[in-house]
A = this chain, B = another copy of it.
Amino acid sequence: MQQFINPSFDEWNILTERPTASYEDLEPLVAEVFEAVKKEGDQAVRKYTAQFDKVALEEVRVGAQAINNAEKLVPEALKAAIQQAKVNIESFHKAQDYKMQQLETQKGVVCWQEKKPIEKVGLYIPGGSAPLFSTILMLAIPAQIAGCKEIILCTPPTQEGTVPPVVLYTAQLCGVEKIYTIGGIQAIAAMALGTATIPKVYKIFGPGNQYVTVAKQWATRYQVSIDMPAGPSELLVAADATANPAFIAADLLSQAEHGPDSQVLFVTTHRSFLSEVTAALEEQLNALPRKEIAAQALKNSKAFYFETNQQAIDFINAYGPEHYIVCVENEALYLEQVRNAGSVFVGNFTPESAGDYASGTNHTLPTNGYAKHYSGVNLDSFRKAITFQKISKEGIQLLGNTIELMAEAEGLQAHKNAVRIRLNTLENEI
């Protein structure tokens, strides 16, 4: 890790910068696949699956038999773990369901807001070296709680053209009924546009590689929305003398193993930790199966010493980390002042991996500084807020003149008339 001692405020802009990978050069390919899927539907989806995944799909949709068989193929202990995680994720996301009361903003004017499910949502689960079934928990559980009617899932085929049993098991456990063995740009295009087999959805969720990222952005041209723009995963650990350097190293490595572009930051007010954590990193790194990936991520990583808590806190907010571990004596100070972060892990016994899998919080979180203006996935990601108002005769008589004056000042006479015609009727009633 590169080390920085009390970097001055002027340098923060550069120090909090992420390496920006521009994927604009992928847009022509993405546009091509979208056009093909629009024109040829399932046929195009199969064609690109053959081309990109080297798999000749017989069926795009996973059949009931494969789904039912999956349960038998997943070890009992893993199933129990997935179920425990599900209970926690479920209770945390259910607790986000707040119902606003009706409010009489003034006499006779009653306003309220209701949250309604997005009826059709698509979940994208990446393939790759290992099946990322935990992301299904993070997306399908809040979708179910929200009440989304149609929840579909796309995931790239294995080399045998199948979907790993643990993915099928988790999807079924979370109530996902339609699972499609497709990935990449063609999967996003299919969900955005719809084909004979794959239903068009209103919103697409889930992580993916740069092709998926660009395809999700492209999908927004077709009146589809997305959970958030994706980027390489990030962790920032803040620690003072009360922290444990070996734990910190383990947490930093858990982020570094994701990929060579993972962002790993360490911020401390305890100067000797710069070397102690570095030593612990070296010790632990060698035992990792993914040590080459982790080592590469660590090369681009940064460790900071700040003299005061306030400097450390301000720097962390300027960065806005996706994951933020806080191991300090004055926890209250650090927590009060969290302004920009995706998910925060408090204390020496709260590793990031707890939130990645099973504490209950969501692991689909804003990266790349988006924590400054984006929420991680939560119950409301699967709902929209609709407002209502009901005005009584007395209400419009009390509020009418205000509306008329404002409409007139904006030059909108018909807006004024809609009030005037009602007020006239009421005056004639008397």
Q: Taking beta carbons and an 8 Å cutoff, which residues of A are in contact with B? A: 77-78, 80-82, 84-85, 87-88, 91-92, 95-96, 98, 100-101, 103, 105-106, 109, 111, 113-114, 116, 118-119, 129-134, 166, 202-203, 217, 220, 223-225, 229, 244, 246-247, 250-251, 253-254, 256-258, 284, 287-290, 294, 335, 338-362, 366, 368-376, 378, 380, 384-393, 395-396, 399, 401-403, 405-407, 409-419, 421-422, 425
Contact = CB atoms under 8 A, between A and B. Distances in A.
A208 B40 CA distance: 36
Q: What is the count of identical protomers in the complex? A: 2
30 contacts: A78-B405, A81-B403, A88-B106, A116-B339, A118-B373, A119-B339, A217-B220, A223-B369, A224-B373, A225-B370, A250-B422, A253-B414, A253-B417, A254-B414, A256-B414, A257-B415, A288-B414, A343-B388, A347-B391, A349-B391, A351-B396, A351-B418, A351-B422, A353-B407, A354-B403, A354-B419, A357-B407, A358-B399, A359-B399, A360-B389
Contacts of A129: 411
A132 B202 contact: no
Nearest to A390: B346
A100 B96 CA distance: 7
A62 to B, nearest CB: 20
Contacts of A410: 130-134
Given A113-B96, A116-B338, A246-B421, A389 B361 contact: yes
Nearest to A339: B116
A264 to B, nearest CB: 11
Contact of A203 (B78, B289, B373): B373
Contacts of A407: 353, 356-357
A399 B354 contact: yes
Given A202-B373, A355-B389, A389-B361, A254 B418 contact: yes
